Amino acid sequence: MYAANADHLPPALCLLAREIVAFGLERDDRRAILERLLAHPSLPLSPHTRFIGELQCELACVVGDLDRARALLMTADEHTLIDWTWIEQCPLIAPLRSDPGFPAIRARVRDRADLVAQALWD
Residue-level pLDDT, tens digit, the chain, 122 residues: 666 777 777 777 778 788 888 888 888 999 998 888 888 766 555 666 778 889 899 999 999 999 999 999 998 898 889 999 999 999 999 999 999 999 999 999 999 999 988 888 87
Determine the Cα–Cα distance for residues 50 and 66; give it in Å rounded to an integer.
19
How high is the pLDDT of residue 107? 97
**Beta carbons within 10 angstroms of residue 93's beta carbon:** 23
Number of H helices, E strands in the chain: 6, 0
Predicted TM-score (pTM) of the model is: 0.75
How high is the pLDDT of residue 110? 96
Cα four-point dihedral sign 49, 19, 89, 95: negative
Burial of 102 (0-12, 13-18, 19+ CB in 10 A): middle
Inter-residue contact 95 to 66 (CB < 8 Å): yes
